[in-house]
Chains A and B, each alone.
Chain A
Amino acid sequence: EVQLVESGGGLVRPGGSLRLSCAASGFTFNDAWLSWVRQAPGKGLEWVGRIKSKSTGGTTDYAAPVKGRFTISRDDSKNTVYLQMNSLKTEDTGIYYCLEMTVSWGQGTLVTVSS
Chain B
Amino acid sequence: QSVLTQPPSASGTPGQRVTISCSGGSSNIGSNNVYWSQQLPGTAPKLLISRDNQRPSGVPDRFSGSKSGTSASLAISGLRSEDEADYYCAAWDDRLRIVMFGGGTKVTVL
Contacts and interface: CB of A to CB of B under 8 A. Distances in A.
B47 A103 contact: yes
A46 interface: yes
B104 interface: yes
A108 interface: yes
Contacts of B101: 37, 44-47
Given A101-B50, A106-B44, A61 B98 contact: yes
Contact of B37 (A61, A105, A107): A105
State which size class the interface on B falls in.
20 to 34
Interface string A87-110: 000000001010001111111100
B99 A47 contact: yes
Which DSSP category, helix, strand, loop or mixed, fits chain B's interface?
Answer: strand
Decide if the interface of chain A is mainly helix, strand, loop or mixed: strand
B44 A101 contact: no
Nearest to B98: A63
B95 interface: no
A111 B86 CA distance: 22
Nearest to A101: B35
B98 A45 contact: no
Question: Which of B44, B46, B54: most chain A Cβ within 10 A?
Answer: B44
Contacts of B104: 44-45
Contacts of A21: none
A89 to B, nearest CB: 18
Nearest to B57: A2
A50 interface: yes
A103 B37 CA distance: 11
A45 B47 contact: no
Interface of A: 35, 37, 44-47, 50, 61, 63-64, 95, 97, 101-108
